[in-house]
Amino acid sequence: MAEALLQGVFENLNSLIQREFGLMWGVNKELEKLSSTLSTIQDVLEDADERQRNDNVVRNWLRKLKDAAYDASDIIDECATEALQSSIDSGTEDRAMKQVISFSQSCFGLNPVVFRHKVGHRIKELQERLDVIAEEKSKFHLQERGGEDQTAEIRETSSFVDKSEVFGREADKEKMVELLLDGSSGEEDVLVTAIIGMGGLGKTTLAQLAYNDERVEKHFEKRMWVCVSDDFDVRRVTKAIIQSSSMNGCDLLDLDPLQVRLREILDRKRFLLVLDDVWNENHERWAKLRNPLRYGARGSRILITTRSEKVSSAMSANQRYNLSGLSDDDCWSLFSCRAYEGRNQEECQELEAVGKKIVNKCKGVPLAAKTLGSLVRFKKTRREWQLVMESEIWDLEEEENMILPALRLSYLNLPSHLKACFAYCSIFPKDHEIPKKQLIQLWIAEGFISKKGIKEMEDEGNDYFSNLLWRSFFQDITKDAHGNILKCKMHDLVHDLAQSVAGNESFIMEAGKPNNIPIGARHSSFICNNMVSPSIPKAMYSAKKLRTFLLLHDASVYQIGIKKIPRDLFLNVRCLRALDLSKSQITRLPDTIGNLKHLRYLDLSRTCVQTLPSSISNLCNLQTLKLNGCSHLERLPENMRYMISLRHLELNDVESLKCMPERMGKLTSLQTMTQFVVGKGKRCSSIRELKDLKLQGSIRIKNLKNVANKEEAREADLQNKEDLNYLGLWWESDGFSSSGEAEAEQVKWAEMVFEELQPHINLKNLGIWGYVGASFPSWIGAPVLSNLVSVGLLGCKNCKHLPPLGQLPNLKRLDINGMDGVKQVGREFCGDNGIKGFPKLEKLEFYRMLNWEKWSGVEEGEMQCLHSLKIGECRKLTSLPDGLRYLVSLRTFEIRHCPLMDSAPTAPNGNTTA
């Protein structure tokens, strides 16, 4: 973790030097010396990180180094912020804004002369600390990167298994035997099967059970077992396979004769090779090892055990078996056979209640059940068992605790940048659902992810998340309807590992309990699920170096009781990078929020704020601002255009927002803006401000009634926003009169404007609400939007005909609601160009079509994928197309509150609800 932290500091420092910041402020020599010192320390960090477990002196040295690195990061960040603020100042023509900036400089210590003096003094002080740290490292004989690895070890396993200590794996064994004996090997003679799971889950045990099964023994002519471990050396592993096949030694040294010999041994023989505990992610190494293995007979199998999906991919696994944890009963059985050995029945009964609580800590991991069972085996009293139950995993006796060492191997095999991201996850409590998107944004805010080339930080963060998931650090993932990961959890034992690695740097507080943030804490969360009216912990005021503060709560909590943020809080925690106050009952933020010049992430979602202080516009480093569900929020800060680092502005369900501040187009870093409210007048942004924004994901454009003309709509350039997934076009919030009539001139104007709002062909989801034109634009239903998956047409009261949506080849969901002008739906709906309409449509819903009388024009062979059709509150509807009778895929067919539809046609499967 220290390595990743220092690497980030080193990169940012060199970036400042390259931008000649030091020359501008007269501290260039100091910055270059700082860079040189950091470079000499960096080379030994990997060794120090591994040695700190068993060496308190090295551990204390690393703690001092990390503390200095954090301080260095703060100084560099302040320098970069000053440079950024200066660039904003120089480009500011607005006299009022210059006065705001001048005021903020005097209030928050940004006066250039004062800043130059302070930063020079702090760099000098930091350099002295680092000089001492650099000198101390020589005392520890730390190994530099690239030297001979003194810590690597080959962990040995064998093919033998003690079945008396195996519980709950019979079904897994049967499945594994089935895979190994499966005769269908496709195009390849030798298939690779991977058992995947976190450390300690029992992958090796499952492989042993299958390896020793009588059916497997009879099926394969040769069986070989090799424990690969960390060192995937092709020559060593090849030699080990030869020795396992013959049970004799092998004197060959070079790779070529070794592989020739292995080919001779396996030639045209059906074999089973188990490669246990594989960590190799290099496909080329595997390809080299696999060459002689290809000469085995058809039906040969290679079985690997690994903790990583990435390893299974690198090893070209044809079959993957993700191993699950044991049930509570099986864990108890495994624990009992260790813990109760030599005890009489009376003792066992007395200790059972505590024992079952101990087993709860195992969360289905067999190694944990064995380890904890062994740990209490010689503890005589209930109190001694109670202490084990109450202890954290990392506090248990080291000589008998095999859980964390086993899990720590996964951590040590991570690249340094992933170590920091993993340790940061300890800020979330056990069993907490971690939103993937939020986690990546927090990683970026903390500086764990930096931009590399043309790749965006969010894309890099997605790769980081995937790598940790593939390596079994995350589990219990939740996906949306499109297969995208939304949330995940961490296994309790993996969480213990994260807490062990993070140490005092990460701290979880809880309302109603004493909360003392440890010295050196940088990241903290505050859990307030069960308190009616909690307040910000007093310990926060002394946590002057805190970088993260998150209010956490489970999904069932609508709002938590914190009602006020004290003004002086933000004068104390000036180093904050991430602040989450979501779901609190605060109605306002103190203006001192502008003091948090390091702040990158701010979440105020589902709070009661009505406005944001103008000082928030001073947060030129802010990257993510979340205001989802702030139903009372009426306006955004007037000078928001100066928040030039803003990448994500989330405004879902902010219905009271009147308009966007002027010149929003200046925020060219914006990737996400979920809502844009078109305004009129000087202090509002017109729709043309969208022109230069490279937006991604979803956007809902509201108050299109305020678009001045079609030229302004064209300037929004929606047609070139290729990364938008969802586009919502909202004409107005109040709609027209119930009659649905509008003046002819207004209708014509609306149609011209809408024609210019054509989105990019990549768009997947489109929603239109309250459109006042009499006909839809030509691009709806046209091939230009062939990638649309879902469409919603809501409250378009003046349109008399539906667009030819049946011609959209990928459309799966269609919702039509409140279109009072439609009386008949005919052939034009499916399209009439010889192509069968709606080839992929799965769900179709008509609702509140007040004047709809007839539906026709659906032919046999159309809508063949439709499985849900719902029609509701269409009180004049009298007939449906005969073509619906041929929909064999239809599973749900509902007609509700349609009084003239007494004789609705019956679906082929009979599932009609009238």
The DSSP secondary-structure symbol of 77 reads H
Say what the pLDDT of residue 102 is: 46
| 489-547 confidence digits (pLDDT tens) | 999 989 989 998 888 889 998 887 777 788 778 999 998 876 566 788 888 888 889 99
837 contacts 807 by C-beta, under 8 angstroms? yes
Checking if the pLDDT of 281 tops 80, the result is yes
**Alpha-carbon span 912 to 795, nearest angstrom:** 27
Domain positions in the chain are 2-140, 163-322, 328-404, 417-607
Nearest to 800 by CA among 773, 822, 826, 825: 822
- Chain mean pLDDT for the chain: 85
Say what the pLDDT of residue 795 is: 92
Checking if the pLDDT of 561 tops 90, the result is no
| 375-392 confidence digits (pLDDT tens) | 888 887 888 888 888 877
**Alpha-carbon span 709 to 707, nearest angstrom:** 6
Nearest to 489 by CA among 418, 541, 430, 439: 430
| 330-372 confidence digits (pLDDT tens) | 999 998 888 888 788 888 888 888 888 988 888 889 988 888 8
Mean pLDDT of all residues in 471-488:
90
**Alpha-carbon span 544 to 269, nearest angstrom:** 68
**Kindly report the CA angle at 452 between 448 and 455, in degrees rounded to 5?**
105
Report phi then psi at 164, rounded to 5.
Answer: -70, -20
Residue 536 corresponds to which tokens in the numbers above? Answer: 């910000």
Percent of the chain beyond pLDDT 90? Answer: 49
- Helix ranges (H only) for 622-737 are 710-715
**Alpha-carbon span 883 to 863, nearest angstrom:** 9
**Alpha-carbon span 474 to 463, nearest angstrom:** 14
DSSP-derived 3-state class of residue 359: helix
Residue 174 corresponds to which tokens in the numbers above? Answer: 């049967």
Mean pLDDT of all residues in 49-71:
80
> 163-322 — its CATH code?
3.40.50.300
> Strands 548-552, 523-527: parallel, antiparallel or unpaired by DSSP?
parallel
Say what the pLDDT of residue 38 is: 77
Checking if the pLDDT of 725 tops 50, the result is yes
| 237-259 confidence digits (pLDDT tens) | 998 999 998 877 777 778 899 99
Say what the pLDDT of residue 109 is: 44
Say what the pLDDT of residue 400 is: 59
Mean pLDDT of all residues in 167-190:
84
Residue 141: pLDDT band with limits 50, 70, 90: low
Checking if the pLDDT of 676 tops 70, the result is yes
DSSP-derived 3-state class of residue 577: coil
| 96-120 confidence digits (pLDDT tens) | 444 444 434 444 444 566 666 777 7
Q: Choose the most confident range, by mean pLDDT, from 64-73, 140-149, 430-439.
A: 430-439
Checking if the pLDDT of 284 tops 60, the result is yes
State the amino acid at position 212 in one-letter form: N
Nearest to 311 by CA among 212, 255, 230, 368: 230
| 856-914 confidence digits (pLDDT tens) | 999 888 999 999 999 999 999 998 998 888 888 999 999 999 998 865 555 555 555 55
Residue 402 corresponds to which tokens in the numbers above? Answer: 């095999």
